[in-house]
Chains A and B, each alone.
Chain A
Amino acid sequence: DVKVTQSSRYLVKRTGEKVFLECVQDMDHENMFWYRQDPGLGLRLIYFSYDVKMKEKGDIPEGYSVSREKKERFSLILESASTNQTSMYLCASSFLTGLAAYEQYFGPGTRLTVT
């Protein structure tokens, strides 16, 4: 079974703190994704990566950065957390293909609260 794990299920941070969210997958997937999920908005893509050290901005990258030093690990960084970044964060991974799009496998999510 594919497993995608996230470092925390719940996290509470203060405004201005630097926050690290970690994601690890064990299926040797090339693609990894970070989304945030908000009620009524669905999932919005923050960043994705198709290879080690490669990253692409998604729809809402402002206030976030990412790091992918190893194939299995993709980190989301909030440089200076703000209250509007309170949300559910979901990590996902999938195989890299040419024109095709394959199933994404999701982690359990991290519910981040910034106070």
Chain B
Amino acid sequence: AQTVTQSQPEMSVQEAETVTLSCTYDTSESDYYLFWYKQPPSRQMILVIRQEAYKQQNATENRFSVNFQKAAKSFSLKISDSQLGDAAMYFCVVNDMRFGAGTRLTVKP
């Protein structure tokens, strides 16, 4: 079985600052995929970033990057230059169907 743990139910960041959301997981598979999804208030869930476990290089998408530590089973999301539009629930996901409980990010102007 796979479990995904997001230990920060809520986080807050000042606009233009950097914030890191944590995620740890447990899996017995040697090859797998990791995702961060974003769910803005009253809006649809969308993909933020995707990481393939066999790739050692950390994925990056504009202001979003991950710190993937395979041995530690850790997959954190870093948001740089935070914007008001980044305010949302963020979910860490392993292999498409296993979601963490989510972290609610607030961005202060």
Contacts and interface: CB of A to CB of B under 8 A. Distances in A.
Interface residues of B, number: 24
Contacts of B50: 103
Given A90-B45, A106-B46, A58 B97 contact: yes
Interface string A98-115: 011111101111000000
A104 B96 contact: yes
Interface string A35-46: 100001111110
Given A94-B96, A104-B96, A40 B101 contact: yes
Closest CB pairs A-B (n = 10): A106-B45, A101-B33, A43-B99, A101-B96, A42-B99, A42-B101, A103-B47, A45-B97, A42-B102, A106-B44
Contacts of B61: none
Tell me the dominant secondary structure on chain B's binding face: loop
Measured as residues with beta carbon below 8 angstroms from the partner, the interface class of chain A is 20 to 34
A33 interface: yes
A74 interface: no
A4 B98 CA distance: 20
Among A40, A45, A101, which residue has the most Cβ atoms of chain B within 10 A? Answer: A101
